[in-house]
Amino acid sequence: MPRLNARKPNRRNALRWGLVLLALLTGTAFAFWPRLQGTPAQALAAGQELLAKKTVLAVVAHPDDLEWYIGGTLRELANRGADVQVVVATDGEKGPNRVKSPDLAATRRAEQAAAGTINGYTRIHSLGLPDRGAAADPRFLPDVTRIYGEVKPDAVFVFDPAYPALPYLHVDHQGSAREFLKFWDRLPAGRPPVYLFQTRRPGVAVDISTVIDTKAKALAQHVSQNGGGSSGMTRFFAADGGRVGVAYAELFRVLR
């Protein structure tokens, strides 16, 4: 009997710690799980508002970032006559080189140009900064702010630095967004909204169902990175479409 009594507190402790662990794991999973903010109808209405923009500027780190994450939205904007300007900070030279190109930077730029033609970009500003060092490069923000001043966008697109959708993170994805937002935070009233993509707190949904094939074709131009495929992209954005009741969607968190 004494031995049994001595064990009981241990069992209770084990149970207590088990519950604490379960709560922590559940809480963590909940915090990192993508969650739509508001209703699907509200998100789609906010997407329509986004598609009414006339001049947009998207800032990304690598060739193929645009086409993977927001290619459908950019194509929809171009279809409505918007001036779609994009900044690609690096030539992605640390990424895969599936074609064994001797001049990977030149190959990547040509692929980005081909993708841009399919997706209707007005202009591609390639900064040629070092891959995995672009956001920290002292030239990054001055270059981007100069282009911003020339373009005068009424909406900007960057990665979501605060609530990135897992699992893929890259120092120049979230870093470039953080740098841009330092600049944007200091702008006076009347500044354009910033649409953050690869987010796990989306409140804006753009229905890209009618342009999904064009998006896939644009993405497939990045042969040196993806071998000419679209590597599961359509499945990924079908899942996002499912969150708002359409076939395919791209989702954003908006800062105003």
Residues that bind Zn ion (CB under 5 A): 61-62, 65
In angstroms, the Cα distances linking 222 to 6, 159, 230, 234 are 66, 20, 9, 16
Please count the CA atoms within 13 angstroms of the CA of 28 that sit on its side-chain side.
7
Helix axis angle for 233-244 and 212-219, nearest 10°, is 150
Closest CB to Zn ion belongs to which residue?
62
Rounded Cα–Cα distance for residues 62 and 87 (Å): 9
In angstroms, give the least distance from the CB of 62 to Zn ion.
3
* Closer residue to Zn ion (CB): 53 or 62: 62
In angstroms, give the least distance from the CB of 27 to Zn ion.
30
* Closer residue to Zn ion (CB): 65 or 67: 65
In angstroms, give the least distance from the CB of 86 to Zn ion.
13
Task: Fill in the DSSP letter of residue 93.
Answer: T
Closest C-alpha among 47, 71, 48 to residue 58: 71
In angstroms, give the least distance from the CB of 132 to Zn ion.
10
* Closer residue to Zn ion (CB): 43 or 60: 60
User: Which two structure tokens, joined as six digits, stand for 136?
Assistant: 């920290």
In angstroms, give the least distance from the CB of 156 to Zn ion.
18
Name the E strands within the chain: 55-60, 83-90, 123-129, 155-159, 194-197, 204-207, 249-255
